């Protein structure tokens, strides 16, 4: 790969996660022309579909369609086939990475594959491996901007599902009420219509259940995943870990909270493990009322750098409305506890206003946190000053602040800054 292509690929994985599909689409476009590009990963519980291209396609593609495509594509392979996408059978090219992330290119019907293009499939697979690994790492790190975007997506989806469910449920209940009226004749017709309406009502309620499963993690499963992910870290640090699992049963965590909790534990474990006198950690988490409680302790000398650890974790917790306590007692050890509310921003009257910003606005806000002016931001983002001004105006309105300094302060407190 040429140095120019390497720089272009770096730009793909270096920008905001929500726009990675658009950047990757531009990158692969010259060699693999397509109408639309979709990246499907259940790692991103807020927005499992990263899309670019024809809105008539990407706005209609469903999770079920993508799941079916993923099942039909062997890991580590590039497949060319036809599939149902957005309710229409289309020509597609798919790549399923070893991380279980799926790439879908909706190709042009007249496009044929030459020998050179068949060989370039290896390059496409290699490029996507880098992109999918980058996505997985960004999600695992649970940065404040990722958490804010994910929480905004969860809130938006919850509101939409609730509105649709209520509207259609009211309509279907009205139909059933009419059909069950005793003054109607033609019993057979009424019975068939009632059965149809009942089935539709059940299917509608299933939409909410399916969305809930996609956007959440079972509490026990989330903790089990933490143990798997933390195992290599503990081994490298040469510390033994006592895991105290949740006692609460039947609870689920919003996806962004599960990712944030695991990221927090990893950061704390590394901070504890790098102390010379620590050989054992105790890690516990559980749901208490409407909060996830995380508690991590050691039995070291109590020389943990609490200020640095607080700075590392504050952004994540503030984005989710959580709080942090770091205690060190010389000669006795250290303790870190975090409390994260489980309700989404849409359910809380004092919801985090940062979650109302779209990905581009979050990116501009990161520059405001560094005190940069419109001209500098425009040069960094490759857009016009008027575009930046438009975004800044929208940011001030959504954050309900009067000037750029106040907006930048909110961003800095949440740990959102540009590179």
DSSP annotation of 143:
-
- For residues 322 and 144, what is the distance between their CA atoms, to the nearest angstrom? 12
- CB crowding 40-77: b at 16 or more within 10 Å, else e: bbbbbbbbbbbbbbeeebbeebeeebbeebbeebeeee
Residue 174 confidence (pLDDT): 61
Q: Do residues 328 and 295 make contact, with C-beta atoms less than 8 angstroms apart?
A: no
Structure tokens given for 416: 């959102």
Domain boundaries, the chain: 3-141, 144-214, 217-345, 357-413
Number of Cβ within a 10 Å radius of residue 205: 14
- For residues 355 and 149, what is the distance between their CA atoms, to the nearest angstrom? 6
- For residues 42 and 223, what is the distance between their CA atoms, to the nearest angstrom? 17
> 53 has which bridge partners?
36
Structure tokens given for 159: 């509101």
Q: Do residues 353 and 399 make contact, with C-beta atoms less than 8 angstroms apart?
A: yes
Residue 113 confidence (pLDDT): 46
Q: Do residues 251 and 275 make contact, with C-beta atoms less than 8 angstroms apart?
A: no
Q: Do residues 106 and 69 make contact, with C-beta atoms less than 8 angstroms apart?
A: no
Q: Domain 3-141, what fold?
A: Beta-Lactamase (3.30.450)
Residues of the chain with pLDDT under 70: 1, 43-47, 109-120, 143-215, 343-352, 355, 413, 415, 419
pLDDT tens across 73-99, in order? 998 888 999 999 988 999 999 999 988
- For residues 385 and 12, what is the distance between their CA atoms, to the nearest angstrom? 23
- Closest residue by Cα to residue 268 from 237, 316, 309: 309
Residue 300 confidence (pLDDT): 77
Determine the 3-state secondary structure of 305 from DSSP: coil
pLDDT tens across 184-215, in order? 566 665 665 666 666 655 555 554 444 445 56
> What is the Cβ-side half-sphere exposure of residue 47, based on CA atoms within 13 angstroms?
24
pTM above 0.75, yes or no: no
Strand 216-218 with 252-254, pairing? antiparallel
CATH architecture of the region 217-345: 2-Layer Sandwich (3.30)
Residue 223 confidence (pLDDT): 92
The two domains 3-141 and 357-413 share their CATH topology (first three levels equal): no
- Closest residue by Cα to residue 164 from 196, 210, 195: 210
The total number of residues written for the chain in this structure:
419
Residue 23 confidence (pLDDT): 92
Q: Domain 357-413, what fold?
A: Arc Repressor Mutant, subunit A (1.10.10)
> What is the Cβ-side half-sphere exposure of residue 148, based on CA atoms within 13 angstroms?
28
Strands (E), 41-185: 49-53, 77-85, 88-96, 102-106
- For residues 288 and 333, what is the distance between their CA atoms, to the nearest angstrom? 25
- For residues 353 and 203, what is the distance between their CA atoms, to the nearest angstrom? 34
Q: What dihedral angle (degrees, nearest 10) is formed by the CA atoms of 250, 135, 137, 360?
A: -100
């Amino acid at each position: 790969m040429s140095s120019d292509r390497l720089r272009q690929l770096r730009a793909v994985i270096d920008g905001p996660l929500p726009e990675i599909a658009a950047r990757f689409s531009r990158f692969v476009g010259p060699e693999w022309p397509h109408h639309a590009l979709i990246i499907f990963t259940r790692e991103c519980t807020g927005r499992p579909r990263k899309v670019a291209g024809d809105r008539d396609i990407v706005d209609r593609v469903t999770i079920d369609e993508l799941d079916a495509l993923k099942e039909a594509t062997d890991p580590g392979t590039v497949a060319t086939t036809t599939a149902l996408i957005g309710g229409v059978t289309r020509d597609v090219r798919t790549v399923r990475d070893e991380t279980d992330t799926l790439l879908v290119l909706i190709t042009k019907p007249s496009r044929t594959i030459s020998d050179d293009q068949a060989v370039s499939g290896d390059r496409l697979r290699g490029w996507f491996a880098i992109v999918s690994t980058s996505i997985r790492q960004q999600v695992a790190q649970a940065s404040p901007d990722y958490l804010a975007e994910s929480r905004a997506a969860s809130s938006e989806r919850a509101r939409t599902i609730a509105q649709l469910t209520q509207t259609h449920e009211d309509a279907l209940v009205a139909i059933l009420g009419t059909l069950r009226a005793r003054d109607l004749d033609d019993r057979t017709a009424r019975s068939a219509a009632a059965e149809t309406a009942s089935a539709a009502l059940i299917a509608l309620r299933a939409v909410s259940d399916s969305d809930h499963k996609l956007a959440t993690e079972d509490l026990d499963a989330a903790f089990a995943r933490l143990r798997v992910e933390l195992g290599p870290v503990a081994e490298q640090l040469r510390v033994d870990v006592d895991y105290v699992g949740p006692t609460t049963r039947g609870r689920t965590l919003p996806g962004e909270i599960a990712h944030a909790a695991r990221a927090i534990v990893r950061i704390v474990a590394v901070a504890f493990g790098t102390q010379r006198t620590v050989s054992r950690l105790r890690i516990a988490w559980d749901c208490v009322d409407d909060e996830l409680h995380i508690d991590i302790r050691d039995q070291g000398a109590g020389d943990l750098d609490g200020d640095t650890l607080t700075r590392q974790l504050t952004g994540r917790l503030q984005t989710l409305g959580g709080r942090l306590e770091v205690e060190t007692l010389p000669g006795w050890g250290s303790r870190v506890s975090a409390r994260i509310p489980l309700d989404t921003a849409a359910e809380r009257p004092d919801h985090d206003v940062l979650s109302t910003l779209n990905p581009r606005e979050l990116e501009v806000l990161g520059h405001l946190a560094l005190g940069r002016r419109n001209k500098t931001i425009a040069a960094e983002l490759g857009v016009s000053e008027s575009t930046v001004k438009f975004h800044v105006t929208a940011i001030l309105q959504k954050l309900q602040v009067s000037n750029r300094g106040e907006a930048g302060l909110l961003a800095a407190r949440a740990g959102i800054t540009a590179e």
